[in-house]
């Protein structure tokens, strides 16, 4: 009888556990984010040696924003008055498809998220790292 009681408790414990719905990234992503540091690294062996391997860093000093809304569109606002709207989609809480580009979400918290993207064409490649802040 004691074993039956313990077995019943174990079954109730597992039955009462909620399954994680895996929506952490979309829920955290919603809202307004300021563009942070953006870094691009390009490598192309067909270029001259001095231009073959380049890295560019773009700090956001102008207050440009992107806002992810629950209508599956991201709205951008730039300090020069330019505005944009792009569809977005989250896949498995790890990939962000924004305006046709696939970005890997490398980390996300309530106040910061970072992305990474790599494109390879032949022997050339381009890597991009993005930071977004609340």
Is residue 107 situated within a structural domain?
A: yes
Residues 126, 116: Cα–Cα separation, whole Å: 11
Higher pLDDT, 100 or 118: 118
pLDDT one-digit tens code per residue, 93-106:
888 998 888 999 99
pLDDT one-digit tens code per residue, 5-34:
333 333 433 344 444 444 455 688 999 999
The pairing of strands 101-108 and 112-121 is antiparallel
What is the total count of domains within the chain?
A: 1
pLDDT one-digit tens code per residue, 37-46:
999 999 999 9
CATH number of 83's domain: 2.40.128.20
The pLDDT value recorded for residue 111 is 94
Residues 34, 65: Cα–Cα separation, whole Å: 4
Is residue 127 situated within a structural domain?
A: yes
Is residue 61 situated within a structural domain?
A: yes
Domain that holds residue 55: 24-133
Is residue 122 situated within a structural domain?
A: yes
Is residue 3 situated within a structural domain?
A: no
Is residue 5 situated within a structural domain?
A: no
Is residue 65 situated within a structural domain?
A: yes
Report if pTM > 0.85. Answer: no
Distances (CA, A) of 25 to 6, 28, 53, 88, 98: 38, 5, 33, 13, 14
Which percentage of the chain shows pLDDT scores above 70?
A: 81
């Amino acid at each position: 009888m004691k074993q039956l009681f313990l077995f019943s408790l174990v079954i109730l414990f597992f039955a009462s556990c909620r399954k994680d719905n895996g929506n952490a990234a979309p829920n955290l992503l919603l809202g307004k984010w300021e563009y942070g540091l953006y870094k691009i690294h390009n490598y192309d062996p067909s270029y001259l040696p001095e231009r073959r391997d380049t890295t560019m860093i773009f700090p956001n000093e102008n207050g440009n924003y992107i806002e992810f809304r629950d209508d599956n569109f991201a709205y951008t606002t730039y300090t020069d008055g330019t505005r944009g709207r792009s569809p977005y989609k989250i896949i498995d809480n790890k990939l962000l498809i924004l305006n046709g580009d696939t970005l890997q979400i490398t980390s996300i918290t309530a106040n910061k998220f970072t992305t990474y993207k790599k494109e390879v064409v032949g022997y050339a490649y381009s890597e991009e790292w993005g930071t977004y802040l609340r």
